[in-house]
Chain A
Amino acid sequence: MVDVPYDAVTDVPPAEVPEVDLYHPKSWWTQYVFSQDAKVIAIQYSLTATAIGLVALVLSWLMRLQLGFPGTFSFIDANQYLQFITMHGMIMVIYLLTALFLGGFGNYLIPLMVGARDMVFPYVNMLSYWIYLLAVIVLASTFFVPGGPTGAGWTLYPPQAILSGTPGQDWGIILMLASLILFIIGFTMGGLNYVVTVLQARTRGMTLMRMPLTVWGIFTATVMALLAFPALFVASVMMLFDRLLGTSFFMPALVEMGQQMKYGGGSPILFQHLFWFFGHPEVYIVALPAFGIVSDLISVHARKNIFGYRMMVWAIVGIGALSFVVWAHHMYVSGMHPKFGFFFATTTLIIAIPTAIKVYNWVLTLWRGDIHLTVPMLFALGFIITFVNGGLTGLFLGNVVVDVPLSDTMFVVAHFHMVMGVAPIMVVLGAIYHWYPKVTGRMLDDWMGKFHFWVTFLGAYLIFFPMHYIGLLGVPRRYHDVGEAAFIPSSTHTLNAFITVMALTVGFAQMVFLFNLVWSYFKGRPSGGNPWRATTLEWQTPETPPGHGNWGKELPVVYRWAYDYSVPGAAQDFIPQNQPRATPALQGAAP
């Protein structure tokens, strides 16, 4: 740390950024419902995502009940089981995690963290939410249409996704594709906002290298999502053509249930290429915001700057770029040209290197820190464990020949739940505990939070860690009942029952969390503006919760990076980004 002499730092006059042309709400409707304020939109996104996420949570219980106690629950048959896994997967990956990280956290945090008054296109931002809501409604409506939701698996592989051997073949799949198309349109509107706000609306002094890693993560993920979602869009449109107009993009000549079909010549693998060209970046679209947020949680609660900030930024950008050339590692056993295996295994394992660097830097940030074991910190620790675990099993599946026996087994299910289910959810929860005081002005209850953490973390670990071994044994995924098979010992059924019990327990803990959210909103301890004593701009707003326009009359001016914690010689163990001078004697000298 080079101590900057006091004289060398001159105050910058307050921002000359002109008053942004904000739309000021005129009625209750435009303030809380059709609001153009990014903070309100963020909360709308988060609540909608949570609501549909709860549906997916209940679906996971039903699935686990069936797997843990096959044959006991007569109301779950094979078709329903397939519908449950499909809807659970699709909701969790796209409608919950993507929407929550980008639409929820992105909307709330980007303008506040870069010192903007709002997103740059508030009207488009509002439209983005309402189209998202429509997409969710269309998705949810498939539960009530004849035939029910599609049971094609969240990957929606043709030909089976649109043939009659799969549940939900008539309405379910059509509405699913329509909902995805809507989601992508809505997301693109939001995504344009997040990207352009970071590019154009940063306040004075907020250079890229002074941005908190949260913004870096969300920004990079949004760029990736904007470029990757069109692949899903194209795949969905083409499949809708195949389903509704009888074209043969993906449909080869086939005989279904003894009937020759009219299709001919199409390529199911073409769909897989398109799907995974979106699908793999999607993994990082969920992971990168989590990487960014957890870096900030660890730094704030360990009172220490994030170790190797530059390396962290480069790693985020590098991972984002590399993730576009690894998609076919989901297709090692798909029947594509086997030579592709060499290329994609190599790129996939190379991605492990920047990812590993991030992990090292998180734990090295803890080294010689001042670790406050607050609830957000606990969730960050939980994230590291689950992410390391899930990331390392990814090295199995990314290495082409190792993937051959393991693909399509429960090992894969355990892997991706650990790495893109549990780990990002740990960050989501930690982030909610961290930023709830800014959103509401009250702290979440600490005792309930700790209970919630331990049950969720240990429970989820006990669900998914043993599940790898069921997969190693060879039990395939997407089986509603594994039935009789000589290679499966009966102890597997005991383990499955145990996993089910853990799943229900973890689900219960989430109810405690929801109760905490509501209870603390009314009864929580008032938090003040900056309860964690953090440096980033969102904690320096004049009001808490921040008002419309975020900053009162003048935009903040940024003088330093986001991680000035425990700076030697400073009066406090943190220096806010908008504080001009580090020299302690002058600013610490109270009368």
Chain B
Amino acid sequence: MVVALILLLVAVGSVLFHIYSPWWWTPIATNWSYIDHTISITFWITGFVFFAVIAFMAYCVFRFHHKEGRQAAYNPENKKLEWWLTIGTAIGVGAMLAPGLVVWHQFITVPADATDIEVMGQQWQWSYRLPGKDGRMGTTDVRNISPENPMGLKRDDPHGQDDVVIENGDLHLPVGKSVKVLLRSVDVLHNFYVPEFRAKMDMVPGMVTYFWMTPIRTGTFDVLCAELCGSAHAQMRSKVIVEEESKYHAWLEKQQTFAELSRRNAVMKATYKSGGR
């Protein structure tokens, strides 16, 4: 029967495509391999159900398609069978849900030793802020944002003065150190998305969202925006460079703090006003 064969081929083809697909998740770069494992479990369970249902259907079409004189069986229901199927399904669902919830619990429980860093999205660029020597970040307010103060830090907050501000640049992170990524937006929704990190979260203007992770390998990773943010959504790119601690500190030394930036801006402004002399 051609129809039954094609239906079966769809099921077999899907499984083969899955096995041989050259398109697969990117090599992971953080501690979130738990998420990958949960996806794998889900693939096994759903794959089994998918194949079983389609193959059974194909068999029915093959075995019971209309022939002269065939009469269908009369069978309104079968309580026992339905109960077993329900119980089986519930077990399968539980087997996916339980690990999912366990990993979610880890996902939202930030370890105490995680360093805060801040990512700020705006149309259509990324800015980053790292705590300075005091290890704490200053407070911010959207209302403070101006060309001289692109991230809206509060000028009178002493914690903010030594914050490292990277406007529209690349982010460097030390490998093996947990970070809590604080996410902020000044205009519309954005989403700080690095496929290799697995973790992501929307950035919502008016509030600070977060996720945490521990980079486990060095490399340079693309940052994309994963929440529609207007015309240049697709061009909103940046890079995250995960590197050894020594290299990271060498890079960090070269970055400007908020205080330095403000001073430079003030000097530039003064120069401009005085006609460049």
Contacts and interface: CB of A to CB of B under 8 A. Distances in A.
B200 A333 contact: yes
A252 B70 CA distance: 68
A447 B108 CA distance: 56
A205 interface: no
B25 A474 contact: yes
Contacts of B142: 252-255, 260
Contacts of B26: 473-474, 487
A372 B234 contact: no
Most buried by A among B17, B23, B232, B233: B23
B130 to A, nearest CB: 22
A241 to B, nearest CB: 18
B123 A256 contact: yes
Given A371-B60, A487-B222, A252 B206 contact: yes
Contacts of A361: 82
Interface in B1-26: 3, 6-7, 10-11, 14, 17-18, 21-26
Given A368-B64, A402-B38, A255 B104 contact: no
B162 to A, nearest CB: 24
A519 interface: no
Contacts of A369: 60, 64, 72-73
A346 interface: yes
B61 interface: yes
Contacts of B198: 404-405
Interface residues of A, number: 113
Interface string A127-163: 0000000000000000000000001110001011001
Contacts of B237: 483, 485
B199 A404 contact: yes
Contacts of A160: 187-189, 228-230
A24 interface: no
B71 interface: yes
Given A253-B206, A401-B104, A404-B199, A367 B60 contact: yes
A589 interface: no
A567 B74 CA distance: 6
Contacts of B145: 255, 260
A308 B86 CA distance: 13
B276 interface: no
Interface string B48-69: 0110011011001100111000
Centre residue among A304, A367, A384, A404 by max chain B CB count within 10 A = A404
A364 B198 CA distance: 39
A458 to B, nearest CB: 8
Contacts of A310: 77
B234 A483 contact: yes
Nearest to B191: A408
Contacts of A349: 93, 96-97
Interface residues of B, number: 102
A266 B57 contact: no
Contact of A253 (B6, B34, B124, B143): B143
A359 B53 contact: yes
A78 B232 contact: yes
Interface string B195-229: 11011111111110100000000001110111111
A256 B187 contact: yes
A366 interface: yes
A66 B98 CA distance: 41
Nearest to A306: B76
Given A335-B209, A345-B100, A163 B50 contact: no
A253 B207 CA distance: 10
Interface of A: 1, 78-79, 82, 151-153, 157, 159-160, 163, 165-167, 252-258, 260, 265-269, 302-305, 307-311, 333-335, 338-339, 341-342, 345-346, 349-350, 352-353, 356-357, 359-361, 363-364, 366-373, 378, 381, 384-385, 388-389, 392-393, 395-396, 399-402, 404-409, 458, 461, 465-466, 469-470, 472-474, 476, 478-483, 485-487, 489, 491-492, 495, 563, 565-568, 573
20 contacts: A160-B187, A266-B206, A303-B71, A307-B76, A309-B76, A335-B207, A349-B96, A360-B82, A363-B56, A370-B66, A384-B54, A395-B93, A401-B104, A458-B6, A466-B17, A476-B225, A480-B234, A486-B220, A486-B221, A567-B74
Interface of B: 3, 6-7, 10-11, 14, 17-18, 21-26, 32, 34-35, 38-39, 42, 45-46, 49-50, 53-54, 56-57, 60-61, 64-66, 70-78, 81-82, 85-86, 89-90, 93, 96-97, 100-101, 103-105, 107-108, 122-124, 142-143, 145, 147, 152, 183, 186-189, 191, 193, 195-196, 198-207, 209, 220-222, 224-235, 237
**6 closest Cβ pairs, A-B complex:** A252-B206, A474-B195, A165-B230, A160-B188, A335-B209, A366-B60
